[in-house]
A and B are shown apart, each in its own frame.
Chain A
Amino acid sequence: MFTRKLCIAALVAASLFGMSAQATDITGAGSSFVYPVLSKWSATYAEKTGNKLNYQSVGSGAGIAQIKEGTIDFGASDAPMSAEDLTKFGLGQFPSVVGGIVPVVNLQGIAAGQLKLDGKILADIYLGKVARWSDPAIAALNPGVKIPDVKITVVHRSDGSGTSFNFTNYLSKVSPEWASKVKFGTAVEWPAGVGGKGNEGVSQYVRQIPGSIGYVEYAYAKKNAISYAQMQNAAGKWVEPSAETFAAAAATADWKSAKDFNLIMTNAPGDQAWPITATTWIIMYKKSKNASHTKVAFDFFKWSLENGQPQAASLDYVPLPAPLVQQIEAYWAAEYKN
């Protein structure tokens, strides 16, 4: 009886509190890549301001479709929208947070970061042209490392995803053959290998198949203790995946000359840049359809860009570098008119 009374009291208190805060609930939909950090941000933000964010991670394509129909306050997409589409629908876009995608391998006796790969070999492996780990091209990059002579099993994502989009985009940039045969997209016709559903599916498959190689978001490789590979970046330097190298990629990508931030930052030029780094774009109407909601949405993203670092870092995302944040805020001032 007592507990029941307590419950009712708590409910009443909660509803009173909810009313007194006069919260504005904003809604967004799209990319699942950004979902973990958005939900963490929105929890902290709701504590501070009482404004709640309702985000549905339905996939980038669906997010874009919904923002075009104007049913949500913002969309989130792993692929940037083209300038044409943005103008056509009166939309603007800006990057939100950075994350890294890492090749992971299951090779006996090879520790995390011990194996070195460059873009060309990675593409050849995914094309099915390099079929064994004993391939001389791999050995040439890894002098002194004893790589077991087993067959390579390629693992890719089976579901359409931003992770695949950025990974295949990178392969297209480093391999002309990949660019002409397979191209890039959220889902492609994979020339080789098996498909795991989600990051979870890919990391499980890689753990189960000896000699396999896959690609996952950095957080999954870290959490599941799968060994990742070092990569040679566009500057020719060897880099390991880490917050620093992801940030370096975001900082050295050529945002200045990218209109509407329409730039996929894989294969970034910096010395320390991790080559397969990704971001998610937030897409909003330039001319607001619902002023009070848009105001809160901007406030939320401003807050997250300026104060969201600890939450992002705890989930292995990297906050945008300061110059890029300034550029985004300048873009807001110039393009968005309420």
Chain B
Amino acid sequence: MHATVSSNVPTTARAEEAARNARDTRNDRLFAGLLKACALLVLIALIGAATSTLWLGRDAFATFGWGFLTSSAWDPTNNQYGALVPVMGTVLTALIALVFAVPVSFGIALFLTEIAPNWLRGPVSSAIELLAGIPSIIYGMWGLFIFAPFVATTIKPWLMNHFSADPPDGQVSWLVQHVPFIAKFFSSEYPFFGAGIFTAGLVLAVMIIPFISSVMREVFQTVPTRLKESAYALGSSTWEVVWDIVVPYTRTAVIGGIFLGLGRALGETMAVAFVIGNTFKFTPSILETGSTIASTIANQFGEAEGLQKSALMAIAFLLFVVTFIVLLIARLMLRRLATKEGS
């Protein structure tokens, strides 16, 4: 307002106004600088963490070269290390977690925003937020003492009966006989043992459901009632409103929420260390034991020395790389969606 200068105004007032303008500009610039510093801090922290892991892992990268990425060895007494098994385990567990967590979170969010009666929304939302606040070691203990035995007695036998070439009930299923390779993904060296990649994925799913569902719930609430009401007025069912109005309106934020959960699943440490079985054998089967980057570091860092420590730092750097690639894919997907919408 004060920017408009009228010729009728006395000079003192004009000077005051000019001073105020100058002050405002200065403050604005200060504020902008402050904000920029905040943003830069994140960037510096990220680059600092990535370069310091790369620097501390330089011995491992120098010793093993590109072979570090393709070797499945992890042998501390002979100082032979490779990142293949931990990287595979990290990606696999996170993907399994997403496969289960995304539909469930979607359902929770839809129920809370579209279907649930008002009195139920509060308690269920708080329960979800509470789940998000549980420390991961608790999930690990729960996984080790309760969930892994349940997987061993219930889920794993069922999966093996239907998908593996060596089922506990002795009858190889039609699917296994007719679809090649499927049995490879469901074989298990220890059929009576609950811990493994699949179990870790399920525990991770439970852990990331609160994150994904609360983001989804928040963004579903931002859909204008006007749009939904119009659709209902045209005779749409609840599902049609959700699929044709709510989802397209919130797509970007929903994908953002999913990737937030994925990021957490990729880096989860304690819970995974308890339920994945911690072995370094390369296997395509999700019912076998394995290890992830974070669980390997948690397990071995305390007693690691020399090249082993360097190898642990090197896989920590690879975790940055994996996460970065995942985020890149997310960005590309979003851009693809945006251009599709434009055409």
Contact = CB atoms under 8 A, between A and B. Distances in A.
Interface of A: 58-62, 65, 153, 158-161, 182-190, 193-197, 201, 204-205, 208-211
B149 interface: yes
A159 B301 CA distance: 8
Interface stretch (B51-59, B258-266, B276-284): B276-284
Which 9 residue pairs across A and B have the least CB separation, nearest first? A160-B303, A59-B302, A195-B278, A158-B278, A189-B75, A183-B77, A186-B303, A194-B277, A159-B299
A211 B78 CA distance: 30
B25 interface: no
B264 to A, nearest CB: 20
B139 to A, nearest CB: 13
Contact of A161 (B75, B278, B280, B303): B303
A61 B194 CA distance: 32
Give chain B's interface secondary structure class: mixed
B76 A188 contact: yes
B299 A158 contact: yes
Interface residues of B, number: 35
Nearest to B306: A61
Interface of B: 73-78, 80, 144-145, 148-149, 152, 190, 192-195, 273-274, 277-280, 289, 291, 295, 298-305, 308
Contacts, number: 94
A190 B305 contact: no
B76 to A, nearest CB: 5
Most B CB within 10 A of own CB, among A158, A159, A185, A205: A158
Contacts of B195: 194, 205
A160 B304 contact: yes
Given A183-B78, A209-B193, A61 B302 contact: yes
A204 B145 contact: yes
Nearest to A60: B303
The residue among B148, B192, B308 with the most chain A CB atoms within 10 A of its own CB is: B192
B276 to A, nearest CB: 9
29 contacts: A61-B302, A61-B303, A61-B304, A61-B305, A62-B302, A153-B193, A158-B273, A158-B299, A160-B76, A160-B301, A185-B76, A185-B77, A187-B303, A189-B78, A189-B80, A189-B280, A190-B279, A195-B277, A195-B278, A195-B279, A195-B299, A197-B274, A197-B278, A204-B144, A204-B145, A205-B193, A209-B190, A209-B192, A209-B193
A75 to B, nearest CB: 13
A184 B279 CA distance: 17
Contact of B299 (A160, A188, A204): A160
Contacts of A208: 148-149, 152, 192-194
Contacts of B300: 159-160, 187
B326 to A, nearest CB: 26
Nearest to A188: B77
Nearest to A31: B303
Listed residue (B295, B302, B304) with the most chain A CB atoms within 10 angstroms of its CB = B302
A194 B190 contact: yes
A209 B193 CA distance: 6
Nearest to A165: B303
A211 B139 CA distance: 27
Given A153-B193, A182-B77, A187-B308, 16 more contacts: A58-B302, A60-B303, A61-B303, A61-B304, A61-B305, A153-B190, A158-B278, A158-B291, A185-B76, A187-B300, A194-B193, A194-B277, A194-B289, A197-B274, A197-B299, A208-B148
A195 B148 CA distance: 14
